[in-house]
Chains A and B, each alone.
Chain A
Amino acid sequence: MATTTAVDLTSQTKPKKLLLQVAHDWLTTVDHKKIGIMYIVYALVFLVIAGFMAMLIRIQLAVPNNHFLSPQVFNRLFTMHGTTMVFFVGMPILFGFGNYLIPLMIGARDMAFPRLNAFSFWISAFGGILLYYSYVGGSGLYGAGSAPDVSWWAYAPLTEKVFSPGHSTDYWTFSILLSGIGTTGTAINIVATILSMRCKGMTMTRLPLLPWIYLVTSFLVFVAVSPLTAAQIMITIDRYLGAHFFDTQAGGSAILWFHFFWIFGHPEVYILVMPAFGFMNEIIPVFSRKAIFGYPAMVAATVSIGFISLSVWAHHMFIDGLGAGGNIFFTAATMVISVPTGIKIFNWLATMWGGKIQFKTPMLFATGFLFQFLGAGLTGIVLSSAPMDWQLNNTYFVVAHFHYVLVGAILFALFAAFYYWYPKMTGRMLSERLGKWHFWLFVIGFHLTFDLMHVPGILGMPRRIYTYEAGRGWDSWNMLVSAGGFIQAIATVIFVVNMVWAFYRGRVAGPDPWDAWTLEWATTSPPPDYNFAVPPSISSRRPLWDLKHPEDVDSHYEY
């Protein structure tokens, strides 16, 4: 088997730099790889913070009649937890991976607009910091300052000045506004990079599936995040200039806010979950030692998910009285989306079918993703029928459903991506042993928490309650759910330890530790500033396969 012999393995010995110089290099960088890593690090910091908040919430709910937290602090905690997880963990970490990987995978030297890239990063990061700055407020740290308490959808008219005096809601709107601007900037950059920076020979039909998915996701960002930006502008005008967009006293409409928010809110979950699909598309084939099954179908499914997800938002509003027509339309549209999603799951299974599967840690997490995503889809179908939703809306069933997606699918895909690309980013391998501990503990904790959480939901436990009476049949379930949460927290600590340890002590990775096929593995780990000394040019979907198997090149099999 021919190998990538042309790769120079000698490690570049760099002169040691002063700490200040290093900091300066990072703070002023426009290199897509450094920006990508900064996104990831900032998201990880927020992941730990928001995870800590989740632990506080679970302590409070573990036993009935608990007074560990005050009601107000509880409100602030779940608001900050949700907002942080969606806007300052999910989106930045996905854009971080996108930033890092896309230019490498398409054989480019940088993003299309490097300075816009740095700007987008800093403005999003500033949004996150602003959100947390609200804690340093009126009533001190334990009283949690004046952090927002309007939950992550900020329903009007609760957010109007009368019901939400002070500045907590302003912190919320401004930080979401800033992160929205940053997200849009990055999405523009991603589209321009993918469309105009591809290396020679990389036609759209040879584009790896991960950039394909980021392309569709970026279009979703344009048409879904902008409505949120618009709605934030409106609420700000209401609060500061005394306008009446959502002021029900002056004829304004709260339902209009619901629409505006969910026109963003539902596609948002696809903005988060689609990159997770992208990771699967890269990881599953490599560890099954087979080319992805049904490349054209995968692309088609991605594009149609993008479109359909724009027409289902009002399934979050079944209980607002949409009328029969609305209910039927949004029920049907929501169910239709399971068709392209089903195609994807089928293709991943078909890729694994008959392959020589290697259960390294990335593949373990990918397999976990498959099962859990399936489960999440099934509970989603339950909720998408309006009559079921009338029963289950605003119960812990919904909470269990969306955490199944957010944790069981997206976070698992992210962990898979970490184990897969960490060697590329740092030049060192994560420990397989710690990785397996991380995986199994997390799986156990996850299922303990979120499988069981459906039950109190069905038994009628409302979401967002601060405490509950004993003897309703919810007690032991909640205790187990909380215990599962702590197991997940321990697993996460193992993960963090693994990353820190591997950074200094991990096995040296070499350019292509997984024997993979896409272009990012054709350069050193970590890649040099300019990515590729000679811009590559390719003639199939799996350029490295061609290089390693000149007798059996990939392009013969493409369709």
Chain B
Amino acid sequence: MSTIPVTREVSEAPWTLPSRGIVGMACLILAESAIFIIFVVAYVYYIGKSLSGPTPKQVLELPIVATICLLSSSITAHAAVSSLRKDRVSACTAWLGATIFLALVFLFYTAKEWYELIYHYGLTIRTNLFGTTFYSLVGLHATHVVVGLIMLTVALIAGLRKAMNEHHAEKLEVLSLYWHFVDAVWVVVFTVVYVLGR
């Protein structure tokens, strides 16, 4: 033995510390929020400063269905975590499936919106400042959705192969924290881009 126990009297008081997974995810969310804030600031700063058309008013439509889908996927993700806590693995798997489905619907709407913007209205990232900031901000958010989707799929596969049990609940909770964050960001993006920006 090469080291010493440094204590004189070992206190019997219970010693609990926060979970490192959750602390780590909270930090990641803080850092990511700062990134999103910069993109949002750029978006807001450039509203109405484009030198040429098209303008948001001419081309943007409120993505109501997509928003409802994404926001409800937070609820299903939460349900997945609570089922896993109670060791109901198949219920958890089902909720995960629902979450993934809702996220896919959201992505489908984004893809459709971008397709129309590009091919019907000729709005690309090069067209004007609106195009630049719109595709970057919405694209950054969509990238986060895709990353979350990949992680959710991994969890789903683990569930389907019965490789998941209640001991994984904390890990799934960390993932669901990320997912709630992605949803919260969408609320901001929605407000800035589709409400204020029009």
Contacts and interface: CB of A to CB of B under 8 A. Distances in A.
Interface of A: 4, 6-8, 12, 107, 112-113, 184, 187-189, 191-193, 195-198, 200-201, 218-219, 221-227, 229-231, 233-234, 237, 241-245, 250-253, 256, 260, 263, 519, 522-524, 527-528, 531-534, 536-539, 543-544, 546-547, 550, 553
Nearest to A241: B125
A512 to B, nearest CB: 11
B50 interface: yes
Contact of B9 (A193, A539, A547): A539
Interface residues of B, number: 45
A435 B143 CA distance: 52
A189 B23 CA distance: 9
14 contacts: A188-B27, A192-B24, A195-B20, A196-B17, A201-B15, A226-B33, A230-B35, A237-B132, A241-B125, A245-B136, A250-B129, A528-B3, A537-B6, A537-B11
A191 B27 contact: yes
B31 to A, nearest CB: 4
A234 B18 contact: no
B32 interface: yes
Contact of B38 (A221, A251, A260): A260
Interface of B: 1-11, 15, 17-20, 23-24, 27-28, 30-35, 37-39, 42, 45-46, 49-51, 125-126, 128-129, 131-133, 135-136, 140
Pairs A-B, 3 closest by C-beta atoms: A226-B34, A230-B38, A536-B6
A202 to B, nearest CB: 9
Contacts of B132: 237, 243-245, 252
Contacts of A8: 1-3
Contact of A227 (B8, B19, B23, B34): B34
A195 B8 contact: no
B136 A234 contact: yes
A223 B32 CA distance: 9
B34 A251 contact: no
A223 B34 contact: yes
B195 to A, nearest CB: 23
Contacts of B6: 107, 519, 522, 536-538, 543-544, 547
B24 A113 contact: yes
Nearest to A219: B30
A256 B129 CA distance: 13
A243 B51 CA distance: 13
B162 to A, nearest CB: 26
Contacts of A188: 24, 27-28, 31
B8 A539 contact: yes
A532 B3 contact: yes
Most buried by B among A4, A112, A224, A537: A537
A546 B2 CA distance: 20
B38 to A, nearest CB: 4
A524 B2 contact: yes
A286 to B, nearest CB: 17
A551 to B, nearest CB: 12
A539 B28 contact: no
Given A195-B18, A223-B34, A226-B38, A546 B8 contact: yes
Nearest to A112: B20
B2 A256 contact: no
Given A113-B24, A196-B18, A226-B31, A539 B11 contact: yes
B126 A241 contact: yes
Contacts of B50: 251
Contacts of B28: 188
A79 to B, nearest CB: 24
Contacts of A547: 4, 6, 8
Contacts of B27: 187-188, 191-192, 218, 222
B55 to A, nearest CB: 13
Contacts of B133: 245
Contacts of A522: 3-4, 6
A234 B41 CA distance: 12
A531 B38 CA distance: 41
Nearest to A543: B6
A233 B140 CA distance: 10
Given A192-B27, A222-B30, 13 more contacts: A113-B24, A195-B20, A197-B17, A197-B20, A222-B34, A223-B34, A230-B34, A233-B140, A243-B125, A243-B135, A250-B128, A519-B6, A547-B6
A112 B24 contact: yes
Candidate in B19, B23, B33 with the most chain A CB atoms within 10 angstroms:
B23
Nearest to A255: B45
A533 B6 CA distance: 11
Nearest to A531: B3
A218 B133 CA distance: 29
Contact of A198 (B7, B17, B35, B45): B17
Task: Tell me which of A12, A222, A543 has the highest count of chain B C-beta atoms within 10 A of its own C-beta.
Answer: A222
Contacts of A519: 6
Contacts of A187: 27, 31
A539 to B, nearest CB: 7
Contacts of A250: 51, 128-129
A196 B23 contact: yes
Contacts of B8: 539, 546-547, 550, 553
Contacts of A263: 38
B102 to A, nearest CB: 28
Given A222-B27, A222-B34, A256-B45, A534 B3 contact: yes
B192 to A, nearest CB: 15
